[in-house]
Amino acid sequence: MRPTLAELENPKTLIHESVTAKDVTFEVLRPIFAKPHPMWWVGLILAVVSFSCMGIAVVVQMLEGIGILGINNPVFWGTYITNFVFWIGIGHAGTLISAILFLFRQKWRTSINRSAEAMTIFAVCCAGLFPLLHTGRPWLDFWLFPYPNMRGPLWPQFRSPLMWDVFAISTYATTSLLFWYLGLIPDFATIRDKAKTKLAKGFYGMLSMGWTGTAKDWNHYERAYAQFAWIATPLVLSVHSTVSFDFAVSKVPGWHTTIFPPYFVAGAIFGGFGMVVLLLVPTRKMLRLEKLITINHLEICNKFILATGMIVSYAYAMEFFAAWFSESKFERHQFLYRLGGDHAWVFWTMTLSNCVAPLFFWSKRIRRSLLGMWMVCIFVNIGMWFERFNIFVLSLEQDHLPASWDMFVGTSWDWMVVFGSFGLFFILFLLFCKFGPAIAIAEVKSVLAYPAGKPEGTGHGSGSGHTAAVSHDDAASDDSKPEGQQNV
């Protein structure tokens, strides 16, 4: 008997045991050769509209200067830097899933790593724009690169953490892109082999770089993949740590605190997983990938959100405690300002979204409910944007010199750019979903219970050694128990 969709979505193993290798190829390639889902068109149009807002704002900014934004003296860093750190953070879940979880032999990563890595690349694209635009004269941004030039004493200031960022992020972007592309090669070859039109054959043939699928090909590929995983692993820590240095090496109250590097990394993974779940819930529906991206995969992501949310809450608490313990007037004032100042709503939005909302994931029912997890992840994303706004803007508003205190009020240009950056991200993601394999075909095949189909008379559940049990706690057996036993 064929399993129903509900059974396929909630399998006892990671992916339902009736799914075969052939199914995987078919399911992943279907959206590429089929006409796009109406939701895809709606999404793309909305994304293009929103990105146009950003385009207009950027053109006006180029003509008028960054004075059109809400930044002032002392709040030199406003929504642009908030966006920058927000988007860099979004990318982190992808690298964590593709590199660290690979080294930890986490089989559940296989269905989601490709799309999460794609999000990394697109998020870095969005992020990279903001410091470049924020320089005010983006056409001179090549000055950031150290190469022999005729600008006299103009040379990048390597003692500035902003320069460290240039290198941290360009390394991150390069490595993530290569790693992602490496994983795509065998899948591009599959598309090439299945393509009907000459154009598609040529396009995907070029992308697959002559992959033939021989044992030698795979041997090289797997070695390269493992090595890339090792290279990408430190980047998960280093990139957002370097971003945190932009703030923490300064003397601004609320910025200079030693826990910033690990706290930013945890927050980035938290926000990154928030975006992964937020996007995968509609994407799997739109591409009809429910069989391959099951509730089990999403539940594990939600557990990550719960855990990293608590790490972030710990960091918030330590910041408050240390500000009080330090007896520094400025630190104490800054944290009181966050709690009850003019922008207190920013702080409380952040706290509710990042510290309270993820706590709903203690409930297994919410962790496994599509609507529930989607709602929580919306909060997580809002919370992470406001977290950065809370740190950067509120600290600058009231720093050491009361005479220069001022409020930040974003102009409509600010908000057009914030809104538009989401448009850019979604355009790239939607195009990828249509033209690329949204799931790593070869990797998913390696975790199937019966890649060649379930043989007749095989016992229930336990299959070959390839069977990947669900997060090791047998979701199915838990399902039969009363709710109270599962949650804790």
Residue nearer to other proteins on the CB measure, 186 or 272: 186
Residue nearer to other proteins on the CB measure, 38 or 465: 465
CB of 147 to other proteins, least distance (A): 26
| Joined tokens for residue 304 | 């990550």
Lay out the site mask for other proteins across 279-318 (x = CB under 8 A, - = otherwise): -------------------------------x---xx--x
Q: Could you give the residue ranges of the DSSP H alpha helices within 249-328?
A: 260-286, 295-326
What's the rounded Cα separation, in Å, for the pair 306 and 277?
A: 13
Residue nearer to other proteins on the CB measure, 52 or 250: 250
What's the rounded Cα separation, in Å, for the pair 440 and 228?
A: 16
Dihedral sign for Cα 71, 72, 76, 82, please.
negative
CB of 486 to other proteins, least distance (A): 8
CB of 187 to other proteins, least distance (A): 14
Among 248, 286, 346, 438, binds other proteins (CB under 8 A): 248
Residue nearer to other proteins on the CB measure, 262 or 461: 262
Q: CB within 8 A of 59, min separation 6: which ones?
A: none
CB of 106 to other proteins, least distance (A): 9
Lay out the site mask for other proteins across 103-142 (x = CB under 8 A, - = otherwise): x-x-x-----------------------------------
Q: CB within 8 A of 282, min separation 6: which ones?
A: 39
| Joined tokens for residue 448 | 């199937």
**Coil, strand, or helix at residue 218?**
helix
User: Could you give phi then psi for residue 280, rounded to 5 degrees?
Assistant: -70, -30
- What is the helix (H) or strand (E) element at residue 426, kind and residue range? helix 412-435
Lay out the site mask for other proteins across 450-479 (x = CB under 8 A, - = otherwise): ---------------xx----xxx----x-
What's the rounded Cα separation, in Å, for the pair 437 and 142?
A: 34
Lay out the site mask for other proteins across 144-163 (x = CB under 8 A, - = otherwise): --------------------
Residue nearer to other proteins on the CB measure, 258 or 404: 258
Q: Which stretch binds other proteins (CB under 8 A): 30-38, 99-107, 338-346, 454-462?
A: 99-107
**Coil, strand, or helix at residue 481?**
coil
CB of 370 to other proteins, least distance (A): 23
328 near other proteins, rule: CB under 8 A:
yes
CA dihedral 195, 200, 202, 207 (to 10 degrees): -90
Q: Which stretch binds other proteins (CB under 8 A): 223-231, 346-354, 386-394, 416-424?
A: 223-231
What's the rounded Cα separation, in Å, for the pair 240 and 242?
A: 5
Among 299, 319, 397, 414, binds other proteins (CB under 8 A): 319
Are the C-beta atoms of 138 and 107 separated by less than 8 Å? no
Amino acid 10 reads N
Count of residues near other proteins by CB under 8 A = 50
What's the rounded Cα separation, in Å, for the pair 400 and 440?
A: 52
CB of 347 to other proteins, least distance (A): 17
CB of 5 to other proteins, least distance (A): 27
CB of 174 to other proteins, least distance (A): 22
Extended beta strands in 114-166, E state: none
Residue nearer to other proteins on the CB measure, 63 or 452: 452
For the segment 434-453, give every residue that binds other proteins (CB under 8 A): 442-443, 446-447
| Joined tokens for residue 326 | 């330090």
Are the C-beta atoms of 187 and 440 separated by less than 8 Å? yes
What's the rounded Cα separation, in Å, for the pair 79 and 82?
A: 5
Among 52, 149, 174, 250, binds other proteins (CB under 8 A): 250
Angle at 403 between CA 316 and CA 412, to 5 degrees: 65
Q: Would you tell me which residues interact with other proteins (CB under 8 A)?
A: 102-103, 105, 107, 222, 225-226, 229, 234, 237, 241, 245, 248-251, 256-262, 310, 314-315, 318-319, 321-322, 324-329, 332, 442-443, 446-447, 465-466, 471-473, 478, 485-486, 488
